[in-house]
Amino acid sequence: TAAGHDKATIGLLWAEGVLVEVLLFAFGARFVQRVGPVRLIVLGSTAAVVRWVVMGLTTDLVPLALVQVLHAGSFAAVHLGAMLFISRGIADSHANSAQAAFSGIAYGAGIGFGLLIAGWLYDVMGGGAYMVQAVLAAGGIMFAIALGRAWQGQVLMAADQGTAAR
């Protein structure tokens, strides 16, 4: 609203991002299976970097509307990649714990910490606060690349193991 956009426009931008996310969840199964977990995380994190950089550089409606589509990457593709990795890389007997750990870290601690500092960071940095998000998303790219190098599709924690395979 401070950039001059009315609440209805802001609501439509949010709805656009959520709609594209829902479409990926609903109709993207073939794409998700073909791309695989590591590349999904890389693609989603790359989409997040682009989205956050553009949001940090402009408040113009057209670029904002275009990058809202990237919400399907910045959230949905990363989430699907993580769930696909858990389903392929973690034994069924440990999958619930892995999903709980992922959710607790990413959505509990990550979002919780982000919400605590977001307002303050925006007050201090203005649109530059989005660049912090871009840097964090770039860290997601690096993590996924490292994961891809270390994981070759094998189950990392077998059902009868108490520790991860080496």
Mean pLDDT in the chain? Answer: 90
162: left (phi over 0), alpha (psi -120 to 50) or beta: alpha
Opening angle at CA 94, ends 91 and 96, nearest 5: 120
First and final C-alpha spacing in the chain: 52
How confident is the model over 75-83, as a mean pLDDT? 93
pLDDT classification of 162: cutoffs 50, 70, 90: low
37 vs 89: CA distance, rounded Å: 10
Q: What's the pLDDT tens digit per position in 99-141?
A: 999 999 988 998 899 888 988 998 999 889 999 999 999 999 9
Q: What are phi and psi of 90, to 5 degrees?
A: -120, 135
Q: What's the pLDDT tens digit per position in 40-56?
A: 999 999 999 999 999 99
Instruction: Give the pTM.
Output: 0.86
Residue 161 clears pLDDT 60, i.e. is over it: no
Q: Which amino acid is at 58?
A: T
- CA proximity to 107, closest of 67, 85, 75: 75
